[in-house]
Amino acid sequence: EQEQEQEQEQEEEEQQQQKNEEREKDKELDVAAAKEEAKAEVDEEIRAAEKDGADSDNEDNRDADLASESKPEPPLSEEHHLERLQRQLARETKSEALAEMIGGLKMDMYLLKDKINQLHREISDGVALAGPDPSETLVYPVSVCMQCILLLTAVYFVIYTMLAVCKAFTEVFGMGENTTLELALHGACESIFHAPMICVLFLGTQLRATQISEETHGPPIGAEYAMELCTWSLLVRTFLVLALPAFMGEAVAVSEDGLKFPSHDNRAVASLLTLLRYGAMLCLYTGLVVLCIEAVIMDTRSLNVQPIDLWDDPTTVATEYAPPLSVAMQCTLFLTHLFFLIYIMHAIVQFLTQLLGDEAFPGNIHDEPPVLAREWAMKWEHCLRVCANTVGLAPMVCIVFMAARMRALEIDPREGKPQWWAEALFKVCTTAVAAQVAFVLVPQLAGIAPDERPFS
């Protein structure tokens, strides 16, 4: 009986083993069949996508339709089909991992189909040709910022060198002082005086674009146009001062009150020269305003940097497209605004001084006796001249800021942040210059004439 029982158990085990082997074979056949089915469906979908892409080349209005389409995503019906396929495979194979793997393969095929469609759309819209490789040229292309800086620097030093040579020539040959050429060069030096401050602003904008794009892009096209506008406006104003003796026979007079343009008997010529003078000034300040705005709002989107979320902080909800504005750039922008604000106010008051005559100016709120408008304008012109002497330090201070910024970017191209104490000194220097201007303006508002010593 025991032997019979053992034989019976062995037979049952053999039968169970045969059933397990048959079940494993069935599973393998089901998996193979599922793979073949998924592969056949994928091949069919790829052929259908290629056929659709070929047919789309012959459609005339396909470009307009495709332009309105959003980013391709797997259709909802295909997602449902994928879920059903995964559940079916999980039931047949009793393996969720295998079903998920095959479902992932199916999803990859859907995405591949969408990429093929996107490629067809790009071909239909036209493929942008790559620009020339800078490394293949003999001279690496010079940026617009560097072109403008080099042009202004060259004109700046040429004019000052010509003035030094002219002074030496007149002293050696005893030609006297204040010759026409010397006066014209003096006026050109006063006109080109703004070049250092403008170049510092150009450099700061270029450095910010370099940081945001990680040395792959320059400033946006609007900023480059603004740089060119500022450069040519300043050059036009300078060459106008140099060319006045040829048209009027008299050079621009340089005094403590600034540049004084000579008058002309011909009303048309005088009007044209005035229009050119103030038109160049308007273009200069317009370009400066546009450049400052571009420097502040510049980000990866305006520079066409990929990926656009290069500077995104994952710990915040909002998407960051650019790093925070550096302290050096903040101080440079502030001093630039202060510098040109003082000079444009000085130019306006100087223009009013030349226009106003003996017309009475109304008294102030304290009912003091009225003063002549010309005297009032001359007082403010004197005050703003002292302010202009005060902000004369701003270009050199900003150059120090940009030098520290460039050194920091050289060490750390991504952040480029100087030490905390260096940034604190940036703010101290900026505040000191602004405080000096305030110490001149506040007494003038109180009726106290400012001292005319430089930088007081």
Mean pLDDT of 182-187: 82
Query: What would the pLDDT profile of 93-139 be if each residue is shown by its tens digit?
Result: 666 676 677 777 777 777 777 777 777 777 776 655 566 665 666 66
Collapsed DSSP state (helix, strand, coil) of residue 371: strand
Q: How confident is the model at residue 253 (pLDDT cuts 50, 70, 90)?
A: low
Q: Does residue 78 have a pLDDT over 60?
A: no
CA distances from 170 to 159, 173, 174, 241, 247 (A): 16, 5, 6, 21, 23
What distance in Å separates the CA atoms of residue 230 and residue 237, rounded to the nearest whole number? Answer: 11
What distance in Å separates the CA atoms of residue 136 and residue 157, rounded to the nearest whole number? Answer: 33
The strand pair at 360-361 and 371-372 is best described as: antiparallel
Q: State percent of the chain over pLDDT 70.
A: 71
Tokens of 291: 């450049």
What pLDDT, on the 0 to 100 scale, is given for residue 266? 60
Per DSSP, what are the bridge partners of residue 255?
Answer: 258
Tokens of 110: 């859907």
What pLDDT, on the 0 to 100 scale, is given for residue 106? 72
**CA torsion angle 266 271 274 276 (round to 10):** -110
Place of tokens 């980013």: 71
Q: How far apart are the first and last CA of the chain?
A: 124
CA atoms within 13 A on the CB side of 226: 22
pLDDT-wise least confident of 184-198, 357-371, 391-405: 357-371
Whether residue 134 is preceded by a cis peptide bond, meaning omega within 30 degrees of 0, is no
pLDDT-wise least confident of 264-268, 338-342, 356-360: 356-360
What pLDDT, on the 0 to 100 scale, is given for residue 70? 41
Tokens of 7: 């034989």
What pLDDT, on the 0 to 100 scale, is given for residue 267? 66
Mean pLDDT of 319-326: 86
What pLDDT, on the 0 to 100 scale, is given for residue 252? 61
Whether residue 307 is preceded by a cis peptide bond, meaning omega within 30 degrees of 0, is yes
Query: What would the pLDDT profile of 10-22 be if each residue is shown by its tens digit?
Result: 888 888 888 888 8
CA atoms within 13 A on the CB side of 222: 14
What pLDDT, on the 0 to 100 scale, is given for residue 156? 93
What pLDDT, on the 0 to 100 scale, is given for residue 72? 41
Query: What would the pLDDT profile of 279-297 be if each residue is shown by its tens digit?
Result: 888 999 999 999 999 999 9
The chain-wide mean pLDDT, for the chain, equals 77
Q: Which residue has the higher pLDDT, 330 or 92?
A: 330
Q: How confident is the model at residue 167 (pLDDT cuts 50, 70, 90)?
A: confident
Collapsed DSSP state (helix, strand, coil) of residue 304: coil
What distance in Å separates the CA atoms of residue 204 and residue 226, rounded to the nearest whole number? Answer: 14
**Residues sharing a CB contact under 8 Å with residue 423, sequence separation 6 or more, in sequence order:** 327, 328, 417
